Amino acid sequence: MHDVFFSSKNSISASISTIFKASSSCFYCNLMALASSNDPHKTILITGVSQGLGRALALELAKRGHIIAGCARNKNKLDSLHTELLQASPCNNLLFNIDVKSSSCVKDMAHTIMKKIGAPDIIVNNAAVYHDHLKMWEVPEQEFDYVIDVNIKGTTNVLRHFLPLMIPKNQGVIVNLSSIYGRTGAALASAYSASKWAIEGLSKSVAKEVPDGMAIVALDPGIINTEMLAFRFGDLASQYQSPEEWALKAAPMILNLTNADNGASLIVDDPGILPG
C-alpha cells in the first residue's frame, strides 16, 4: 500500500480529511487539506526525501515558503517528514510512498501533482543508491542492474512523465544529482560511477531538447555526511558537513538557477575533499 500525504499547517484545523484512491493502484492519497490557489511560492518536486540530502533540502525549501512534493520508499521516514514539514511550512506538501524505478508509479505521481498543485517549477532528481565495495567484475549482476535501474532509469522516469507537463509553460528547472564520481573514475564504485556519468550525459543531451525557457543541469552536491557516505567511508563520514548545513547552501543555489544554466555541470560551494 502506498500513501500520499497532502498537508497544510494553516488549514489543517479545517480538517478536510479524505482518503481516496488515486488514478491507479500505485498510491493512495490522504487529503488533509486543500492547496491555496494563489500561492506565490515555487512548487518543487524532490525524489528521495526520506533521508539525507533530499530530506534536508525539502525541509530547507519548505522553511523558505516553497511547496514541496517528494517521494521515497520508506513509509515510516515519510511519516516523520510529513510531521516535520507541517511544523516547518505554512504551505501545502505532497509526499508519495513510491519507487522511482516504477514508470507507472511516477506517472501516477505526476498526474496527482498536476491535479493538486500544478506542474513543478523545479525538480530535483535526488533519489539514488550505492552498492557494495567490489571490483566491477565482482559486483553481482543484479546489484549492478539495481543501481542502473534506480539511478538512471528512475531519473528518466521522472523526466519522461514530468517534462511534457513543464514544456508547454516553457519554464522550469531540473536538477539531476550527480557526483564527483560522475566526473572522475572511482575504484570499487563502478556501477555508481557509471550511473552518475550517465546522469551527466543525460542532462546535457536533454538540455538540447528542452525549450529555451527551461534548464536542466547536473549537480555534484559535494561531500556530505549521509547514510550513503557512511556506507562508502565508514566513520570518516562524520568529518563532513551535515545535510542540513549543505541544504543551507544548496537551496539558494537551486532557487537561483535560470535558463542561462541549461546544460551546465555544477557543484555546490565548499564541496569538501574526498579521503585518501
Ligand X SMILES: NC(=O)c1ccc[n+]([C@@H]2O[C@H](COP(=O)([O-])OP(=O)(O)OC[C@H]3O[C@@H](n4cnc5c(N)ncnc54)[C@H](OP(=O)(O)O)[C@@H]3O)[C@@H](O)[C@H]2O)c1
Which residues of this protein are in contact with ligand X, per CB under 6 A? 47-54, 71-74, 77, 99-101, 126-129, 150, 154, 177, 179, 221, 223-224, 226-229
Instruction: Please identify the residue of the shown chain whose CB is closest to the bound ligand X.
Output: 52
- Report the distance separating Cα 154 and Cα 199, nearest Å: 11
Give the residue from 93, 98, 119 showing the smallest Cα distance to 108.
98
Cβ proximity to ligand X: between 167 and 266 the closer is 266
Burial label for 102, CB within 10 Å (0-12, 13-18, 19+), is middle
Smallest separation, CB 13 to ligand X (Å): 30
CA distances from 183 to 30, 78, 109, 211, 231 (A): 41, 32, 31, 26, 20
Cβ proximity to ligand X: between 150 and 254 the closer is 150
Smallest separation, CB 163 to ligand X (Å): 19
Cβ proximity to ligand X: between 43 and 241 the closer is 241
Cβ proximity to ligand X: between 44 and 100 the closer is 100
Q: Taking the C-alpha atoms of 134, 202, 200 and 136 in order, what is their torsion angle to the nearest 10 degrees?
A: 10
Q: Which of 28, 130, 181, 192 is catalytic?
A: 192
Would you call 146 a catalytic residue per the annotation? no
93-97 and 3-7 beta bridge pairing: antiparallel
Smallest separation, CB 238 to ligand X (Å): 12
Catalytic positions are 192
